[in-house]
Structure 1
Amino acid sequence: MYDPSQLRTFLMVAQTLSFTQAGHRLGLRQSTVSQHVRKLEDEVGRPLFTRDTHGVELTEDGEAMLGFARTILEANERAASWFQGTRLRGRLRFGASEDFVLSRLPEILEGFRRDHPEVDLELTVELSGTLHERLAAGKLDLVLAKRSEERPGGRLVWRDKLVWIGSERLRLDPDRPLPLIVFPPPGLTRARALEVLEQHGRPWRIVCTSGSLNGLVAAARAGLGVMAHTRGLIPPGLTRIPDRAGLPELGPVEFVLLHGRRQRDSAARAAADRLAAAILAGPVP
C-alpha cells in the first residue's frame, strides 16, 4: 500500500513542478520532499519525474500515477470520515471560478455530497474577481479561484499558463485590431489580456462580452475572435492560437483555495476544511 504522505507530496510536486515550491506549500523541507518522491519511485519501481537544470516534468508513469494517487487519497478521506463517527452538518457556501465548469470539479463535488449528505452545499460559479470580493465580504466560506495580485494569499491547487484560443477556422489579420472575446470586469483573465496587449502595442477591439463561459465558448466556436484561457482547460471545439500569429505571451496563472476569515460557525469551518482536503487530494482539472 502506498504511503498517503508520499502521495500527497507527489501530487504537490506534480502541481507546482518544483520540489522547492512543493515543500513551501506542504511545510516540508526540500530534502523531505525529495525523500518522499524517491521512496514512492522505489515502491513503484519506475521514475515518476524527470529532473534537469531546466526544471521538473512528469514522466509517462508519473502521469498515470496522478490518477491512482487521487483515487487512493480520496478513498482514505472517505474512510476517515466514516470511522471518525462524526457526521458533518450545516451549510457550506462554496465559490468556484468559471474556468472549472468543464473540469473534474463536478466529480469532486459529487463525492463530497455523497460522503456528507447532511451538509447543505451552496455552489456559486462566478468570475475569480467577483469570488474574491464575495469572500472578503463574508458571503462565502471557501473559494477556488485564480490568485490575484491584490489578494496574493491562498493555498496553491494548480499552476498553469494562459494562452490564446479560438476556432481552428479563425484567420487573424495582423493589420486589423485583434477581435477579443472576454468576460466583463472584474474578470482577472480579461484584465491580464488587455494589459498584455497594451504593453505590446497590439490594437484590439472587443467583439463579445459574456459573464458565462458557455457564452464565450459559443462566440469563439463561431469564429468571432480569440479569448485568453487556461492552457489545461481548453474547451472542446477550440484550439490554441499558433505562435506564428504573433500574439504576445500571457504568462502564468495560479489557482488557489481561500478560506473565509469570517466563517459563521465551527460546522462551516469543518465542512470547508473537508471540501478543501478533497480538492487537494484530487485536484482539478
Structure 2
Amino acid sequence: MNKRLSVDSLRVFRTVVQTGNMSKAALLLNLSQSAVSWKLRRLEDHLQCQLFTRIDGKSVPTEKGSVLLRHAENILTEHDNAVAYFSPSALRGKLRIGVTEHISMTEICGVISTFTHHHPEVDIQLVVEQSHLLRQHFSEGSLEIILHQDFTGTASPEDQVLWSEKLYWCATPAWRYESDKCLKLITWGPDCYYRSLAEEKLRQSKIPFTVMLECPSVAGMLAAITTGLGVGIINQYSIDKAVCNVSGFEMMMPLPSVDCLLRVNEYRFNPASEAFCQMLTRVMHKQR
C-alpha cells in the first residue's frame, strides 16, 4: 500500500480543525471554500475514513481525524522549519499584540498562526485583556498593536474601525423577567464599560438588580447565562446558540452599537507590525 499525504491537504485539514469552519479556513489560507472542501474530500478518500463530524454547527475531528491531527502537526512543523531555513522571511523581531476577548479569539489565533507560518522569525506575544486595560498598556508602550472595542462614534483619531456590531441583552430561552423580583445581572469586571452600560440602563428603567456574577471571560459569561443564572449584555459576534436576546429589554432599554478598533504604534518602526496588520484587516474584513 503506497499512501502519500499532501502537505497542502494537511495544512487545510489542520486549519479547519483550528477554526471549526471551512469558510474561515479558506480565508486564512487564501483559498476558495470549494477548494478547501475538495482537498478535504480527497484526503478522506485517500485515507478511506471520515475525518470530520458536525457538532453545534462546527466541524470537529472524528477519532481518526484526531489521530491524523497529531501527525499533521509534526509533519507541518518539520516541513515549515525546512522551508524557513532555505527561504527565510526578512522579517525579524518581536511583536506585542493586545486583544479584547470580545473579538473572536479563534479568528485572531488563526491569523497569528498563518502569520508565524510565513514569518517564523517574528516572535509574537499575545495579551488578552479588557479594552480599557489594553488602551492603558498601549499608552505605556508595552503593546504595539491593540484590537479593542468602544461605543460607535467614540473612536480616537489613531484608531482604525474594522467593523461595527450590536449589543444584546441575553438570557436563556426559558428565562422570564419577573418585575416583583430583583434582577440578577451577569457581567464583566467592575471597570468594564459593558457593565457600566447595563447598570445605567437598569437604573434609568427603575429595575432593581444585583450582580450575580462577575466574570472576565466570554465563555464564563455564556456559561452563566446558559444555565439560567441571570441576564447579561453580549456583543453580536460572541452570542452562542444556547442564549437568546431578551426582546422586551431590547425595546425598553435599547443598547448602542460598538466599534471593533485597531490601534497601531506608528512612532515605533516595525515592518512586522505593518505586515501583520495588513493580513489581519484583509481576513477580518472578508469574514464580515
The TM-score normalised by the length of structure 2 is: 0.63
Offset of 1:101 from its aligned partner? 4.2
> Would the aligned equivalents of 2:169 and 2:249 in 1 still touch at CA under 8 Å?
no
**Which one of 102, 107, 117 corresponds to residue 104 of structure 1?**
107
Offset of 1:199 from its aligned partner? 3.0
> Would the aligned equivalents of 1:73 and 1:281 in 2 still touch at CA under 8 Å?
no
Offset of 1:178 from its aligned partner? 2.5
Q: Structure 1's 73 and 143: CA in aligned 2 closer, same or farther, altered over 3 A?
A: farther
Gaps of 5+ in 2: 1-22, 33-83
**Which one of 92, 102, 127 corresponds to residue 124 of structure 1?**
127
Instruction: Give the letter for the 1:131 counterpart.
Output: L
**Percent of residue pairs bearing the same amino acid type:** 24
> Would the aligned equivalents of 1:130 and 1:186 in 2 still touch at CA under 8 Å?
no
Distance 1:250 1:244 in 2: 9
Question: Which residue of 2 is the match for residue 19 of structure 1?
Answer: none
Question: Which residue of 2 is the match for residue 93 of structure 1?
Answer: 96
Q: Structure 1's 261 and 198: CA in aligned 2 closer, same or farther, altered over 3 A?
A: farther
> Would the aligned equivalents of 1:172 and 1:245 in 2 still touch at CA under 8 Å?
no
Matches within 5 A, 1:64-213: 72=30, 87-101=90-104, 103-147=106-150, 152-153=156-157, 154-213=159-218
SS at match of 2:166: strand
SS at match of 1:181: strand
Question: Which residue of 2 is the match for residue 274 of structure 1?
Answer: 275
Distance 2:225 2:267 in 1: 39
Offset of 1:146 from its aligned partner? 0.2
Offset of 1:70 from its aligned partner? 7.6
Map Cα deviations across residues 202-245 of structure 1 (whole Å, 9 max, x no partner): 33211000122222222112111111111232134222223377
**Which one of 257, 263, 267 corresponds to residue 258 of structure 1?**
263
SS at match of 1:146: strand
Instruction: Give the letter for the 2:277 counterpart.
Output: A
Gaps of 5+ in 1: 1-64, 75-81
Distance 1:255 1:245 in 2: 22
> Would the aligned equivalents of 1:219 and 1:225 in 2 still touch at CA under 8 Å?
yes
Whichever of the two has the greater Rg, that structure is 2
Question: Which residue of 2 is the match for residue 223 of structure 1?
Answer: 228
Which protein has greater RCO, CA pairs closer than 8 Å, 6+ apart? 1
Question: Which residue of 2 is the match for residue 51 of structure 1?
Answer: none
Distance 1:156 1:70 in 2: 21
Map Cα deviations across residues 226-269 of structure 1 (whole Å, 9 max, x no partner): 11111232134222223377551111110010013664xx3xx2
Number of corresponding residues:
209
Instruction: Give the letter for the 2:201 counterpart.
Output: V
